[in-house]
Amino acid sequence: MADPDMRETRATQARYNRIAPVYDLMELLPERRYSSWRQRVWSLVEGPQVLEVGVGTGKNFPYHPPNVQITGIDLSDRMLARARRRAEQMGRALTLRQMDVQAMDFPDNTFDSAVATFVFCSVPDPVLGLREIARVVRPGGRVVLLEHVRAENALLGRLMDWLDPLVARLMGPHINRRTVDNVRRAGLTIEQVEDIGARGIFKLIVARV
């Protein structure tokens, strides 16, 4: 498997470390909309061992189903510190580790499912990260993603391409990712793609290893 681009990966980590103190505030308004989407995502998860990639500040923790064992990873130590605090406040026993999804420390077939919400817009090499997920989730295991992607509308798509470098530098995520294609390119089998918001910019993607 290819090695991650360490310069880009360090830059992504630095961006999220910088954003960590204001992330929850930035997401306050959109979160009202995301809440029902997060519920959908977690209703599709199959345990017992579940990997959450890019836990951020722990916004998914209230939606974690009971009776599953969650392991959460994130590249940013400062996002993770907030996630740890949230887990403690909620009295949740979950494992949190600082780790890059592009090169995970877990043995093959460790998990029954993997989940990521708004993460593959930020991972420097999304196909590499998705291949790693395919490695650590057992054959037949489910991968559930909630992502914003490049618009299918040609004009809007080109505008997103144009704005992307600035948005990524200021805020972290890339706004022109072709995540459905990336899931296929990583060798996962797509079960379902649902346009859930903003005329297909927000997608729920369900795949199997």
Ligand X SMILES: C[S@@+](CC[C@H](N)C(=O)[O-])C[C@H]1O[C@@H](n2cnc3c(N)ncnc32)[C@H](O)[C@@H]1O
Q: Which of 87, 94, 114, 119 binds ligand X (CB under 6 A)?
A: 119
**176 contacts 152 by C-beta, under 8 angstroms:** no
Pick between residue 26 and residue 140 the one whose CB is nearest to ligand X. 26
118 binds ligand X (CB under 6 A): yes
Q: Which long-range contacts (CB under 8 A, 24 or more apart) does 81-88 make?
A: 81/20, 82/20, 82/23, 82/24, 82/56, 82/57, 82/58, 83/55, 83/56, 83/57, 83/58, 84/58, 86/57, 86/58, 86/61, 87/58, 87/61
Binding mask 81-110 for ligand X (x = CB under 6 A): -------------------xxx--------
71 binds ligand X (CB under 6 A): no
12 binds ligand X (CB under 6 A): yes
72 binds ligand X (CB under 6 A): no
74 binds ligand X (CB under 6 A): yes
User: Quick one: which segment of 51-59, 62-70, 132-140, 180-188 binds ligand X (CB under 6 A)?
Assistant: 51-59
User: Quick one: which segment of 41-49, 71-79, 186-194, 198-206 binds ligand X (CB under 6 A)?
Assistant: 71-79
123 binds ligand X (CB under 6 A): yes
Provide, rounded to whole angstroms, the least separation between the CB of residue 153 and ligand X. 23
Near ligand X in 173-192, by CB under 6 A: 173
75 binds ligand X (CB under 6 A): yes
Burial of residue 17 (CB within 10 Å: 0-12, 13-18, 19+) is middle
Q: Which amino acid is at 206?
A: V
User: Going along 75-163, which residue ranges are E strands?
Assistant: 95-98, 111-117, 137-148
Q: Which of 45, 51, 70, 79 binds ligand X (CB under 6 A)?
A: 79
**189 contacts 25 by C-beta, under 8 angstroms:** no
C-alpha distances (whole Å) from 188 to each of 82, 126, 191, 194, 200 are: 31, 13, 9, 16, 21
Query: What residues make contact with ligand X under the rule CB under 6 A?
Result: 12, 16, 53-56, 59-60, 73-76, 79, 100-102, 117-119, 122-123, 129, 173
